[in-house]
Chain A
Amino acid sequence: MTRGLSRESRQGLTLIGLPFGFALIMLAAPLAMVITFSFWTQNYLDIDRTLTLANYQEVFSQPIYQTLLWRSLRISVIVTVVTVVLAFPIAYYLSFHVKRNKALWLFLITVPFWTSYLLRVFLWKVILGYNGVLNTALLEIGLIREPLTFILYNANAVVLTLAHAWAPFAILPIFVALEKIDRSLLEAAEDLGDGPFRRFWRITFPLAIPGVVAATLIVLIPTVGDFITPRLVGGTDGLMIANMIQIQFGKANNAPLGAALAVTSMVVVALISIAIYLVGRKIGGRVAR
């Protein structure tokens, strides 16, 4: 009795049809359009629909775009590394040393995330500024004589602010991966003669790799596209590619070039993500089934 699709398949497809249709119209179509758009050019107020690589030539020849793209990637990678490295011990502490009140700790960690993102970034500006909270406090206790200036309006501020903004997103996946580790594996390792350090590197860490990979991707991908943080705390040498995309769609009125920049950064981010995923699979592959 071959009817092409089983009843189960048909029911499943019917159910998922609506959300899938929505995603096709609101996600696939726009993505396809933005890619097409990036091959067109802006001709003053009109769009010239001749297919051309002109935008991409500009992206890859003008030093400013290259600089911004590289800076975006560099800052994102630093943010990701800092965030994940800072997050790991917290996730570890929560999973292995907090016995009761785990839920409370998780709640405490996610609370700051629910403050308006704009205001959180802005408040970092207040903290890090020349007359800011940090400088005032340090001057007060006499640790410094002059206000520190290297902490605002540069890449450092962007890294710090983003590491703060994405903290829960890094902690949660790692925590989940650590929670899944069967505790008897650790006892087995200890029983077989491993000390705490060797046990950590031979058992705990390899088993936590899927969580670390997830955390890395979750932090890296959106930070590349952020433009609020660079605008508010980044100064001129903290500006990133997303700011340029926004400028092209706004003031510069060159949407096709903006689209080309968006597509370029999307491709680069996708390639890096796939690379991280594959490396993670290779290291943790034997672990994740």
Chain B
Amino acid sequence: MRRGLSPTWLGFYAVVYLLFLYAPVILLPLFAFNDATIIAFPLSGFTTEWFEVLWTTDALHSAVRNSAVVASITAVVSTLLGACVARASARYRFPAQKGILGFIMLPLVLPEIILAVALIVMMMQLGLSLSLWTVIAGHILICTPFSIAILSSAFAGLDQSLEEASFDLGESRAGTFRRITLPLVMPGIISSLLICFTISLDEFIIAFFLTGTDVTLPVYIWSQLRFPTKLPSIMALGTILFVLSIALLVLAEMFRRRAARRQGQGASATEGFA
């Protein structure tokens, strides 16, 4: 039997492709635990020295603090804005809806350097000095579209008749939001918070342009990449960040699925027959 795209070959290709995707990621922990100051093969021995170095680097600690502040505020504000947009577009029809929505989603298709340049020009013109707040503003701009993408499915999957039913049973609008809407979209909200946090934590270009004297973690890493002696500890830092990101992602995915499951059950009246 002749087959167009043979599953065996495709499967083989998929494995090779995964190797390509993982090549740099595998190196990260290898060099983080490697007992040598240069980043090259062959590996010489196991050490946790580079992780210990991280504990004593003050500049790193302040960068971590800055990034944590930036990422937390970004996550909260982006999710709030994203929830407003997702709710408005799922529930209401109003003039210029597509235009407004498209405009808010624009940062998704704008090269980051353009955003960075535009923001820095505005800061210069307004005579404002750069600080973590300018970074936060930029990060909210790029995270909001992601939040909208995540929350749109949560809000769109929300059967409107559930809210109507609550209202019909005597509950107020605020009460309906608290007892019905919020519990049903909560997993999506948490998922959005985690994704936005992760994106902000890793964002470099906007942070590089808009940061003042307080640097964020990626900007700190960038400054360290020039010093070969700092590289092993940067590998250790990267490993920690990677594990942290994955943990956040797994959490986000778990919450997203819980949201889908909750709503999936309510979505169709015929489901009981399946």
Give chain A's interface residues, CB within 8 Å of chain B.
5, 8-13, 15-16, 18-20, 22-23, 26-31, 33-34, 37, 86, 89-90, 92-94, 97, 105, 107-112, 114-120, 122-124, 126-127, 129, 131-133, 136-137, 164, 167, 195-197, 199-200, 217-218, 221-222, 224-228, 232, 242, 245-246, 249, 255, 258-259, 262, 265-266, 269, 273
Contacts and interface: CB of A to CB of B under 8 A. Distances in A.
Contacts of A30: 115, 118-119, 121-122
Contacts of B94: 5, 8-10, 12-13, 16
Of all A-B residue pairs in the complex, the 6 with the closest CB atoms, nearest first, are: A225-B111, A12-B92, A196-B4, A123-B24, A30-B118, A12-B94
Contacts, number: 236
B7 to A, nearest CB: 5
Nearest to A94: B14
Interface of B: 2-5, 7, 10-11, 13-14, 17-18, 20-25, 27-28, 31, 39-42, 81-82, 84-85, 87-89, 91-95, 97, 100-101, 103-104, 106-107, 109-115, 117-122, 124-125, 137-138, 140-141, 144, 198, 202, 204-205, 209, 218, 221-222, 225, 234-235, 238, 241-242, 245-246, 249, 253
B103 A116 contact: no
11 contacts: A15-B92, A16-B100, A19-B84, A110-B249, A112-B22, A118-B222, A119-B234, A126-B31, A133-B27, A133-B41, A221-B111
A90 B17 contact: yes
Contacts of B218: 116-118
Contacts of A18: 81, 84
A9 B95 contact: yes
A28 B222 contact: no
B122 A12 contact: no
Given A30-B121, A119-B238, A222 B84 contact: no
